[in-house]
Every structure is written in C-alpha cells, then in structure tokens.
Amino acid sequence: MNCGACGYDQCADQISHKGSEFDGPQCAFRLLDMGIAIGSAVKTAGIMNVDNRIMYRVGVVAKKMGLIDADFVMGIPLSVTGKSIYFDR
C-alpha cells in the first residue's frame, strides 16, 4: 500500500531488519488486525471465566528463547484458579 504508517516510504514487505525485540518494520494494518484478534481471544476467554492478560514482555522472551519463530509475538497467560493470579487485592 505504501501508506507510510510503518515509518518507511516504501512497503514494509520490501524492507526488513532485525530488531532488539521484534523484527520490522511492521505493517500498521497487520498490527491492527493482530490487536483485534488478540482482543477477541481474551474477551472470549473472559466470558468463559478464564482470567487472562495480554503481555508484551512474555512474547519478547519467548522469541529470544527461540520458542517461536515470528516477527511479532505477544503472550496471553491463562488462569482457571479460584482467585485471579493477576490481581492481589
């Protein structure tokens, strides 16, 4: 599309570099789609009473450990315990 939303004048598919956390540049429209999909996944889990959070650092660590080979990774830990492990009130 060459929209420039990724920060480059030409399409991000034609340019690549290895970043410290994620490879890029990333297409802004693909990231928006990813965000919508992740939001739908955690909402569905929440409806099923599964505690969850979206975690950026979990994705970075999984990528650096070689657990997944992808340009962009997010982590979604899940908990089905009686008390949410994500909040201590």
What are the pLDDT digits (tens) for 11-26?
756 667 777 777 778 8
Contact in structure between 60 and 26 (CB atoms under 8 Å): no
Q: What is the mean pLDDT of residues 30-56?
A: 93
Q: Above 70 in pLDDT, residue 88?
A: no
Q: Is the pLDDT of residue 1 over 70?
A: no
Tell me what the pLDDT averaged over the chain comes to: 85
- Decide: 46 and 84 in contact? Cβ < 8 Å: no
What is the DSSP annotation of 16-66? -B--SSS-BPPPHHHHHHHHHHHHHHHHHHHHTT-EE--BHHHHHHHHHTT
